[in-house]
Each structure stands twice: as C-alpha cells, then as structure tokens.
Amino acid sequence: MKLKDFFKDRIGYALIYFVSTSIVILIMYLTLIINKINLPKTNILYAFLVSTVLFIIFLLYDYFKNKSFYIQLSLMINLKDELDYMLNLDCTQTLEQRLYRNLLLKIYKIYGDKIGKYEEERKQYIYFINQWVHQIKTPVSVINLILQDQKNEEYRPIFDSLAEENEKISHCIEMMLYNTRLNEFNLDFNVESFNIISIVRNVINHNKKSLIRNFIFPKIIGNGDIIVETDKKWLFFVINQIFVNAIKYSKDSQKDKKYITFKINQEPTKVILSVADNGIGIPPQDLSRIFNAFFTGKNGRKIAESTGMGMYLSKKICDELGHDLLVESQENQGTTFSIVFHTGKNMFKL
C-alpha cells in the first residue's frame, strides 16, 4: 500500500479529528468570551496547527510501522499460485493484524485439507477406472476372437454387426483409458524419432475392417521418409481418433467414391500431416466448437455413438505434445484435420 492510498483510507479519521478539534476550540473560545477573558486568535490558530502536525506525524508513524505488513499482503495478492507464501506472513504489529494472519492460516489449512481429500478421491477414481478398463478389455477381446472363428455363413451378417458394435465398445474403452492417463501425462510420456508414414499405415491397418465394411478407400500422399519427434503412442491415439471420425462421418455420404486421404508435407520448420475426407463436413456454426468437451454439434445428434470427447482429447494431447491441431471443413464437401509438428522450435530439445 502506497502512502497516498494509506492517507485516502484514513480520510474518515481525519474528518472526525478536525471536526472534534474545531468543536473543542469553539467551546473553549466561547467560554473565554463569556468570562470576558481576552485571548489572541493567533494563539488558537497556533494550537490548532500544532495539533494537526501531531496528527500527521502519528499517521506517518502508523504507516511506516505497518508498511512491511502491507507489502506482504500486496505480494500475496499478486502471486498466482504460491499460496504457501501466506505461511510467512510474520510482520504482524497489532492484534488486528495477528487476527488477519490467523484467519488466513485457518483458511489455508481448510483449503489444503479439502484439496488433499479431493486429490485422494480423484486418485482412487482413476485407479478404479484403470482397473475397470483393463478388466473389461479381456471379454471384449474374447468376443472378437469368438466372432472371428465363426464359420457359419448363414449368420455372417449378424456376426459382422456384432463385430462392428464390439469395435465401438473397444474404441470407447480406449478413449476412457486415455482420458484418465491424460491427467498424469508426464508419467506416461516417451519421445521417439520415427517415420510418420509408418504410424499412418498402422492406423489404417487398425481400422481396415471398418474401411471394408463401409467401402471407404484410404490414400497416402507423401515422399520418402519423413521423421518426426514425438510420443508414438499418444500420436497414434490422435491420428486414430481423427481417422475413426472420418469413417464415421463419411459412411453416410451419398458420394459414389469415398476417400480418406493422408497427406504429409515437409517444410523447413515444420511437418504437416493432413487427414481429409469427402464426407458430410461440419456446419460453419459448429466449426469453432468441435474441440470443446462433450460438444457433438449438428452432425453428432444424427449419430448415436458420438460423445463429443474424441476431438477434445486429441486437442489436449496435441497441446501437451507441443503440436498444433487445425481443422477446415465445408458442409457436404468434407473435412480436413491437420497436425503440425514444429521442427524448428521442438519443445523436446529445450
């Protein structure tokens, strides 16, 4: 707190002081007049001036005595995350300041206890989710193997339908697992150098049944080996999520030929991987909100399995990896997602 602000805060005290002093002087002066005692007015003014100077000296003394306390309060207000600083609030001079300090410490303790409780509950929840996901993956895999072993062609459409639904369950489980892991991203993070075309082919192979089922043809456009540095597992999830969405919103397209095109473009300071489909596209009013959590938009309301979490997680993962995730779309024409790998300012080499 500056001296000017301190004086502004004490205006009320000053007004009371001057009013009460003026009343006292007026009463004394009237008493002297009634008693016919002659007193020079300069003496009254001199007494008033001395009293005012003493009052100002007292205010200055009070300010400098509490200045360190005000400075610490200002530092605490300006700090964004360092709540521990309030534990060092030891420049208390008065009972009022000590009460403030004790109040802050009590609030801090209550806050810390609640945060600790919520953090423990969150850890238990994440542990439960991880355990549940790993346990549920086993029966999903068993169902998939059973369906693959079925040879009865009479029920082949039913088996194919069950396999498709099983794939959806597997994808949702995977999304839930990555969502829980994202909260502790730094503990599950490994940077590698690899050819980006290899991971694109892995994504295509991972979804080949869905491509065949929906008569969608993938294409890869890229020259030679293009190396990027990032976490392969997290990047696979992002590309796979974009690819799954491209299949989902292309299968209902009325076009005769349905394509999903991977294009890798290498520039001096960055590598751009684009995934383009010729599906139903994204309405202009939804385009700016597709990275929001649980946002499904106009198209998502038409498709029951849309959760609004896929692109949200992909965006968060790209932010954590230091990549840009961009989108362009025209309704009824198609959508293009682009992942930008910055090679000139690679965060992993800092």
Domain boundaries, the chain: 3-93, 190-349
Kindly report the number of other CB atoms within 10 A of residue 217's CB atom.
Answer: 11
- In 141-215, the DSSP E strands lie at 191-195
CA distance 245 to 141: 22
pLDDT bucket at 350, cuts 50 / 70 / 90? very low
- CATH topology for the 190-349 domain: Heat Shock Protein 90 (3.30.565)
CA distance 174 to 137: 9
- Which tens digits make up the pLDDT trace of 89-134? 666 677 777 787 788 788 888 888 898 898 888 888 878 887 888 7
What local confidence, expressed as pLDDT, does residue 87 receive? Answer: 62
Angle separating helix axes 156-182 and 95-149, nearest 10 degrees? 160
Residues 6 or more apart from 105 whose CB is under 8 A from it?
Answer: 86, 87
Is this model's pTM higher than 0.85 or not? no
Instruction: Judge whether 322 and 350 are in contact, CB under 8 Å.
Output: no
34-42 average pLDDT score: 76
Residue keyed to tokens 């938009």 = 297
